[in-house]
Structure 1
Amino acid sequence: MIPSARGSRASYATEPGASRGRLVREDESRTRSPYQRDRDRIIHSGAFRRLKHKTQVFVYHEGDYYRTRLTHSLEVAQIARSLSRFLGLDEDIAEALALAHDLGHTPFGHAGEDALSECMEGYGGFDHNAQTLRIVTRLEQRYADFDGLNLTWETLEGVVKHNGPVLAKGENIDSLPRAFREYPGLEGLEIDTYAGLEAQLAALSDDIAYNNHDIDDGLRAGLFTVDDLMALPLVGDMFRSVFDAYPGLEPRRLRHEAIRRLISHMVEDVLAETSRRLAEVRPETADDVRRAGRTMASFSEEMQAHDRALKAFLFERMYRHFQVNRMMSKAKRVMRELFELFVSEPDLLPDEWQRQTDGPRSQRTAETVCDYVAGMTDRFAIEEHRRLFQTDPIFR
């Protein structure tokens, strides 16, 4: 059982009134808290809009009903808000972090990231979490007074550390991805500690959302069947409970009802385990959460085992399905060929990007090409590749 929802603010919530501020000082808004303002800046960013046509698992043209990075981010935000509200935390920063967590992803999902990581070997590498930081501190160029979005310290901290401390014991900043190393304020984000509780919950919300919605998309695509899921712990139980309660229910409703129950079960598990850990550690402030030495937000051990089993199933039956592999193989070729062409012939880049280069195959040119290609949508990358590599005169 989980405790009843709290009606008051927890002392360890990330408080907007106690924010450490922004890198470039701004007057506070009369109508929004600092974290509401961060959320709104993320929503209005170009990188957020481009998530509409970035792959979650299926490339955009394979169907309108499959998740994209944008719809996935919205689903993560809904779960993160619900968890934060129950625990008396700041919903707005939880939502902002959920909406921002995938901004740094390349086109074509993890296949695109793998290809770009290979291309950037020798140039400092590529990491989508580090690229998110680069986007919100540098690449978004919308405001008169600064590059990036000038987000609060707490939101930047959550972007960087939502998966835990960036630096493990014995590591130094030189071991981090290039985009992290190049941010001058990185060490000021206390990268050897955990993030606030809202950021931890946003990371768990990501797990809950993509696990369950990949079940939905995989079933819809015919990559596996409900019968294949029945042997899985917890997942099979949820589907059996729906079969028992609604004999003969049509497949679409069956799928939705079982997944809805599975999400609810995972959410309740997070609330119960997180409440248990909070009661054990008894943090008084958000800084106590950061310095607790372990995550406060977590699945229970039993749910962690279920989560591993589900991930293993999805990896084998969905992410490595031959149909997905074929599309991802094409996507990797598109990414590699675009990168190699632009880094060898930077004068093919649009003018505003070309001005940031300094000759073929230089470090600066590779970084510029990486930013350009990583920011593409699936659709734009396919069209750009067609324009540059297709010799038929119809493609111009």
Structure 2
Amino acid sequence: MQWEKLLSLRREGDTHKRLRNEQDETRLGFEVDYDRIIFSPYFRSLQDKTQVIPLSKTDFVHTRLTHSLEVSVVGRSLGRLAGAQILEKHPQLAQIHGYRFNDFGAIVAAAALSHDIGNPPFGHSGEQAIGSFFDIGPGREFKDSLTAKEYADLLRFEGNAHGFRLLSANRQGIPGGLRLSYATLGAFTKYPKESLPHQKGGPIATKKFGVFQSEVSTFCEIAEELGLKSMDLKGGIGFCRHPLTYLVEAADDICYTIIDFEDGINLGLIPEEYALEYLIKLVKDRINTEKYRGIPHMPDRIGYLRAIAIGTLVQDAVRIFMEEEEAILKGEFNVALLDKSRYKAQIEDIINLSVDRIYQAPEVVEKEVAGYKILSDILDVSTKAMVGKLNGKVSSYDKLILSMLPIEKGQPEATSVYAALLQACSFVASLSDRGAVHIHNKITGKQLQDQNL
């Protein structure tokens, strides 16, 4: 793979080639990507989606929105630092094509900003709830109406693939969705393959899937423009990752490792004395012990350690990226950057403690259980109504549901069972946590009960 192609500024519908030398330096194309994402309704919904603690009653805990903003900031630093070294190694990128180190930072920042944009409500249990609905729930009745790949899309519903759909799918009067640059869409796609075949133990790019059947042709066009190397998946379409995807992934890994740990300490789920104990190897070379001891408030002390720890991991991730750049460009680097980190043992210790004390905390488990029921109930009525509409067999109840649920406004009419089901799933996945609860209350009559009607 070649950087000249990987940094493509092309957008859906372009009729002429966009050249970096011709860009307006006051508002570069990659920066436009960031703006379009942050002003999109999909991004705004992240303000009420779970990061760790579902429907938390505290203002401190991170949501998907604050997490995404933080990942974007870390990603921008990773991109700029790596970009400066890439330009030193490949001077023709700057001398001939006009690329700057900020371009790399802008691409990674935009992709990182949107990395969770397709995630359903209630955290990762939301994905599992949708999949279970089609595996062992009422959605199983649709299996015979779908191809194997279409059914796999729903059975293993993936927030990454849904994110690509939101960013790129055509809407009425808006071809190409947000019309992001192909470089940003490539960097966003963490798992550049379709849902089948499902492979275990292979390259990290095949761990999950990142493209629904409805967007496969779109992604193939993007992959061709970027020059992504094709993978032999024996019956499936897939490509090697865009190199900058590794930096987007590293930004996410760094943030959820360190910041979820910080959340747990501030919530009292993890004792403060664990902070320095678990972070000491990440901060020991840069910490000012006198300054640390002089900070009177616990959240500020933890924040000081967090900032140093993130800085350490950023530098380490860039080091690994540049050491492995040739293998990455050949499509031969098959693990996450932090899997090669000199701090891998410390990272694993922090994650294991977070799993034990935070992710499996009673408050988290209880809300995830409720989330399963809520999403399953909404899917039950919405899928039946959507498929009934497609088949011309809409009951009076279905009509009421369709009038109440704003299912993918602006989307083309579904012309197949798969399209109808995917629209219903996309609607549910796009809901915020409280939005899902509100709609569930409506369809179960709880809202009327609360109003004493």
- Common fold: TM-score over 0.5: yes
248-257 or 188-197: bigger deviation: 188-197
Q: 1:36 matched to which residue of 2?
A: 31
Matching of residues 79-98 of structure 1 within 5 Å: 79-87=74-82, 88=84, 89=101, 90-98=104-112
Matching of residues 305-324 of structure 1 within 5 Å: 305-324=345-364
Quick one: distance in 2 between partners of 1:157 and 1:354? 24
Determine whether 1:394 maps to 2:427.
Answer: no
Q: 2:266 matched to which residue of 1?
A: 220
Matching of residues 29-68 of structure 1 within 5 Å: 32-68=27-63
- Residue 77 of structure 1 and its aligned partner are, at CA, apart by 1.0
Identity between Structure 1 and Structure 2 (%): 23
Cα distance change, pair 207–176 in 1 and its aligned pair in 2 (3 A): closer
User: Which residue identity does 2:169 align to in structure 1?
Assistant: R
Cα distance change, pair 325–60 in 1 and its aligned pair in 2 (3 A): closer
Q: 2:64 matched to which residue of 1?
A: 69
Cα distance change, pair 77–26 in 1 and its aligned pair in 2 (3 A): farther
Q: 1:4 matched to which residue of 2?
A: none
Q: 2:116 matched to which residue of 1?
A: 102
**Is the 2:33–2:181 contact (alpha carbons within 8 Å) kept by the matching residues of 1?**
yes
**Is the 1:289–1:296 contact (alpha carbons within 8 Å) kept by the matching residues of 2?**
no
**Is the 1:238–1:262 contact (alpha carbons within 8 Å) kept by the matching residues of 2?**
no
Cα distance change, pair 128–334 in 1 and its aligned pair in 2 (3 A): same
Q: 1:353 matched to which residue of 2?
A: 407
Quick one: distance in 1 between partners of 2:194 and 2:280? 34
Quick one: distance in 2 between partners of 1:61 and 1:395? 26
Q: 2:93 matched to which residue of 1?
A: none
Quick one: distance in 2 between partners of 1:21 and 1:159? 15
- Residue 215 of structure 1 and its aligned partner are, at CA, apart by 1.2
- Residue 114 of structure 1 and its aligned partner are, at CA, apart by 1.3
**Is the 2:115–2:160 contact (alpha carbons within 8 Å) kept by the matching residues of 1?**
yes
Quick one: distance in 2 between partners of 1:39 and 1:131? 19
User: Which residue identity does 1:392 align to in structure 2?
Assistant: Q
**Is the 1:73–1:98 contact (alpha carbons within 8 Å) kept by the matching residues of 2?**
yes
Q: 1:138 matched to which residue of 2?
A: 169
In the alignment of these two chains, the number of paired residues is 371
User: Which residue identity does 2:373 align to in structure 1?
Assistant: R
Quick one: distance in 2 between partners of 1:316 and 1:85? 35
121-130 or 49-58: bigger deviation: 121-130
**Is the 1:338–1:373 contact (alpha carbons within 8 Å) kept by the matching residues of 2?**
yes
Quick one: distance in 1 between partners of 2:43 and 2:332? 32
Where structure 2 has 5 or more consecutive residues not aligned to the other structure, the ranges are 85-100, 136-142, 144-150, 200-206, 232-238, 386-397
Q: Out of 336, 346, 350, which is 2:376 matched to?
A: 336
Cα distance change, pair 19–333 in 1 and its aligned pair in 2 (3 A): same
SS in structure 2 at match of 1:225: coil
Cα distance change, pair 74–186 in 1 and its aligned pair in 2 (3 A): same
- Residue 119 of structure 1 and its aligned partner are, at CA, apart by 1.6
Q: 1:24 matched to which residue of 2?
A: 13
4+ aligned runs moved over 6 Å, structure 1:
167-172, 354-359
Cα distance change, pair 367–268 in 1 and its aligned pair in 2 (3 A): same
Q: 2:391 matched to which residue of 1?
A: none
Quick one: distance in 2 between partners of 1:217 and 1:171? 34
- Residue 245 of structure 1 and its aligned partner are, at CA, apart by 5.5
**Is the 1:197–1:297 contact (alpha carbons within 8 Å) kept by the matching residues of 2?**
no
Quick one: distance in 2 between partners of 1:71 and 1:14? 33
- Residue 336 of structure 1 and its aligned partner are, at CA, apart by 1.4
Q: 1:291 matched to which residue of 2?
A: 330
Cα distance change, pair 76–237 in 1 and its aligned pair in 2 (3 A): closer
Quick one: distance in 1 between partners of 2:30 and 2:250? 20
**Is the 1:106–1:376 contact (alpha carbons within 8 Å) kept by the matching residues of 2?**
yes
**Is the 1:21–1:153 contact (alpha carbons within 8 Å) kept by the matching residues of 2?**
yes
**Aligned-residue CA RMSD (Å):** 3.7
TM-score, normalisation: structure 2: 0.71
**Is the 1:116–1:335 contact (alpha carbons within 8 Å) kept by the matching residues of 2?**
yes
- Residue 252 of structure 1 and its aligned partner are, at CA, apart by 1.9
**Is the 2:195–2:208 contact (alpha carbons within 8 Å) kept by the matching residues of 1?**
no
SS in structure 1 at match of 2:62: coil
